[in-house]
Amino acid sequence: MVQFSLWDIFTFLLGAVRWTVALSLIAFIGGGLVGMGLLLLRFTKLRGVDTAVAWYVQIFQGTPLLMQLFLVYFGLALLGMDTSPLVAAAICLTLYASAYLTEIWRGCVNAIPKGQWEASTSLALSYAQQMRYVILPQALRVGIAPTVGFLVQIIKGTALASVIGFVELTKAGQMISNATYQPFLAYTFVGLLYFALCYPLSWWSQRLENRRLA
């Protein structure tokens, strides 16, 4: 059994935190861009587009994230693409995040009173102008809190990337556990670091929501 001090374990896990944060940011930013595109498509009133986006959302919300990771990781390999665990996890989590974010934002847009749409239409604004100048600025105020809250789910979801070999916080904890035969100690540190990442975001999300309702 390899002997590690508590400081050695903590510093090793702290090094893995940066990969958890990096993967979370990639998924959140990429998912946000894709999700915004899907949101705009969903409100274009083009025939069949809304149904297609709805099915996209249902597929990702109705299947386990772990299965999605396996399908992307092994599916890319079947297509002859030599991909890394990081790339596969980033693609999968980006698609996963986009499905949830577009649905969150759709609810925010639907929360805007119908009169706002009618008023902007009466001003002869195009669809793009309606969304840019009237609808999205109001939906933004409604959507900030749930969007920040969903970032917490993305951070926790990155833990599943460990099953395809990506060394983030959970995988690093597993490596420490296997080396020291002290799983309780290793995963206690892992849990504390996840808490340190997620709690400030949860607190901020709740604060934003309370401020909006005040």
pLDDT in tens, 75-89: 988 888 878 999 999
CA dihedral 104, 106, 110, 112 (to 10 degrees): 80
Three-state DSSP state, 23: helix
Contact yes or no for 49/57 (Cβ under 8 A) = no
> Over pLDDT 70: what percentage of the chain?
99
Q: Which residue has the tokens 């892992």?
A: 190
Confidence class for position 1, pLDDT limits 50, 70, 90 = low
Average pLDDT, the chain: 92
Alpha-carbon distance 35 to 134, whole Å?
Answer: 19
pLDDT in tens, 162-193: 999 999 999 999 999 999 889 999 999 999 99
In the predicted structure, residue 204 carries a pLDDT above the cut 70: yes
Q: pTM of this prediction? A: 0.91
Provide the pLDDT for residue 5.
Answer: 83
Average pLDDT of the residues in 70-99: 93
